[in-house]
Amino acid sequence: MIGLPPAAWREIDDALEVALERLRVRSAALGEASAALGDATAASATGGKRLRPALVVAAFEAFGGDAGRSPGLWRVAAAFELLHAAFVVHDDLIDGDVERRGIPNVVGRFRERARVRGGDEDESRLLGSAAAVLAGDLLLFEATRLIATAPVTSPQRAALFVLLDDAVLVSAAGELADVEQSIGADLPPTDTLLRTARDKTAFYSFQAPLAAGALLAGANDDQRAALEAAGSAIGVAFQLADDLIGTFGTRAEAGREPGADLRASKRTPLIAMAAETEAWPQIASALAMAPTGPIAIEHAQRELTASGARERTVEMIAQTLRSARTLAADAALPRDAVVLLAALTAAVEDRIPR
Amino acid sequence: MIGLPPAAWREIDDALEVALERLRVRSAALGEASAALGDATAASATGGKRLRPALVVAAFEAFGGDAGRSPGLWRVAAAFELLHAAFVVHDDLIDGDVERRGIPNVVGRFRERARVRGGDEDESRLLGSAAAVLAGDLLLFEATRLIATAPVTSPQRAALFVLLDDAVLVSAAGELADVEQSIGADLPPTDTLLRTARDKTAFYSFQAPLAAGALLAGANDDQRAALEAAGSAIGVAFQLADDLIGTFGTRAEAGREPGADLRASKRTPLIAMAAETEAWPQIASALAMAPTGPIAIEHAQRELTASGARERTVEMIAQTLRSARTLAADAALPRDAVVLLAALTAAVEDRIPR
């Protein structure tokens, strides 16, 4: 979703690999079980799109930062990938998922490990959960440690910790809200679900990495505030596009079974907007049937489209991205920062399934 | 278990309360659910014995540190209490415990919260687990942040992060080993279980806090190494005494139902030593019955005592504490450090149920 020179990708990958290899080696020194945990933890932070590190680096360059004179840049960028991995591992644990991208995640690996060792179903669940709790802890700590020990100035470190502190707390609030909103009979209103998307995803995935890159490059407070506001809006639009992909996307677009959000009865702003239409009674029936199979999913997709909720979500994405562009234009950002934000808004638009 | 002047306890409590109040206030700003998470998280780090902060401060003073000239001391001390709270919250989650010290823990609080909101049993478990994952994450991050931003010198911060890095990894290895060793039919050997006690408890509870205090006071590497070795031994002895309390202690000694370790079929070095005796077949039968009630627990207690395993555990504690004293005597530690270690070994001996 974001273009960087090959050399920048290599620096990001190197910083990440140094951290993960260190974790593997240190874990292996503590015994065979710990070695397996180190491997599973490192694997969970490997092979992703590295969106968040790329945002750190792109913002840094857009504000005129000179990577040759900021050796801490790559560690800070890598830290955001580890933070993401920590949240993904703990989110998978909470959601009861045993796979990610079609291969066993930490829970799946350690459930299998327990089975191989003669554990029964309960023991297998126990070990899977324990390993996922610990893997997420190791990743969260490592992300924090990378920033605490990065070669940056003291004021930069202090500012990065303010950002990281917010990222951890806001993401936790968003994750908790996401779980709470899945409970009980009442569908929360659209605004509440948008707020959850912002807290759970937009802050740590867009706003904070962009701000981190800008502050390392020496952006002033006004510029950073504008960048953060635009980043937050882009992050929310990104999540709304993700909801459309999870609901209407093809297998190629979604990278998994089509209609996975419908199968999982996920409460998204898209669904909340459908609930505000007169067609809701028949949509609700269709959604209730969706987990039963592909035909029911296609029926629910048609009902949602017919209600106008799909179109309204596309409009909401367009509007959110317009607000991001306006924020960028009004704030006297450097030209390269405006170009970066324009590229990000275009990339989010491109993700919308047609 | 450790004596400090009232002013030092107040400084520890103040540093801890500043961190927890900040967490509560910041959480409350993010909505009602987040406020509840902040309150539950802060509560889980409140009201403990503050053993680990006390060890930081006691070691600092034993090595001649001047608290008036080390304003970072109290934050570092408080960080170890938060680290402990993080591990306890995640350990309770892994163990499926819903109470601590007789009151609902984070899991218990949020299970009840889900019920009040009309959640069914599955939803209640889901919310309890989610909140506990997040509360532990917040505490782990806050412990790390306190040290990353404490007013200490750069070399001190770097050394503290080496310690903290080890504490997080070694404790994770110990927690994982503890879970793995509870799985399957085979009882692990005594040495393996002792290693797990060292990794899961002794490192972060004794070795690391003592080392942190000593390094802030300017202890040299040899002194720190000796202190760490002695601290590790004392920590293992502490855990062995804890096993005796959980197996044979009265309600007053244990602060909970007597024989809780037998009720939970916990695999401790004590049990592994019983398995090395000829009486093991009847002990194993008695242990298998122990979860059924008080009479079966008393029977298992008698069998364990008769096998000599209880006495052997007491001897092992004495021997481990002797090694701690020898390490202290051989290392040319300052007199006050020797006195501190002697006080700690005496305190562990006093915990052994008679």
For residue B264, the distance in angstroms to the closest alpha carbon of chain A comes to 14
Residue of A169, A182, A194 to mutate, interface with B, max B Cβ within 10 Å: A169
B110: closest chain A residue by CA: A180
| pLDDT, tens digit only, all 354 positions of chain B | 888 999 999 999 999 999 999 999 999 999 999 999 999 999 999 999 999 999 999 999 999 999 999 999 999 999 999 999 999 999 999 999 999 888 999 999 999 999 999 999 999 999 999 999 999 999 999 999 999 999 999 999 999 999 999 999 999 999 999 999 999 888 999 999 999 999 999 999 999 999 999 999 999 999 999 999 999 999 999 999 999 999 999 999 988 889 999 999 999 999 999 999 999 999 999 999 999 999 999 999 999 999 999 999 999 999 999 999 998 888 889 999 999 999 999 999 999 998
Same fold, B1-151 and B153-354: yes
d(CA B209, CA B86): 15
SS3 assignment, position B276: coil
DSSP annotation of A183: S
Q: Which residues of B touch A158 (CB under 8 A)?
A: 149
d(CA A273, CA A260): 19
Structure token digits, residue A263: 């199968």
A172: closest chain B residue by CA: B134
Q: Which residues contact A116 (CB under 8 A, 6 or more apart)?
A: none
Inter-chain contacts counted by CB atoms under 8 A, chains A and B: 169
pLDDT digits (tens, 9 = 90+) for A206-237: 999 999 999 999 999 999 999 999 999 999 99
CA atoms within 13 A on the CB side of A78: 29
Contact yes or no for B172 and A138 at CB 8 A: yes
SS3 assignment, position B103: strand
Rounded to 5 degrees, φ, ψ at B87 are -65, -40
Task: Name the CA dihedral angle for B339, B341, B344, B348, rounded to a multiple of 10 degrees.
Answer: -130
CB B55 within 8 A of CB B213: yes
Tell me which of 1.10.600.10, 3.40.50.1820, 1.10.10.350, 1.10.3720.10 is the CATH number of domain A1-151. 1.10.600.10
Q: Cα A69 from chain centroid?
A: 29
Structure token digits, residue A318: 């367009």
Strand spans (E) along chain B:
99-100, 103-104
d(CA A212, CA A190): 30
CB B295 within 8 A of CB B219: no
Rounded to 5 degrees, φ, ψ at A333 are -75, 155
* Residues 297-326 of chain B whose Cβ lies under 8 A from any Cβ of chain A: none
A347: nearest Cα among A246, A243, A237, A225? A237
What counts of helices (H) and strands (E) characterise chain A? 17, 2
Domain range list for chain A: 1-151, 153-354
Length of chain A: 354
d(CA B86, CA A115): 29
d(CA B193, CA B267): 8
Distances (CA, A) of B134 to A90, A138, A172, B340: 8, 14, 6, 37
- Topology annotation, domain B153-354: Farnesyl Diphosphate Synthase (1.10.600)
A88: nearest Cα among A128, A44, A123, A125? A44
d(CA B161, CA B44): 24
Contact yes or no for B199 and A123 at CB 8 A: no
CB A19 within 8 A of CB A74: no
Helix axis angle, A73-95 to A208-217, nearest 10° = 170
B196 touches chain A (CB under 8 A): no
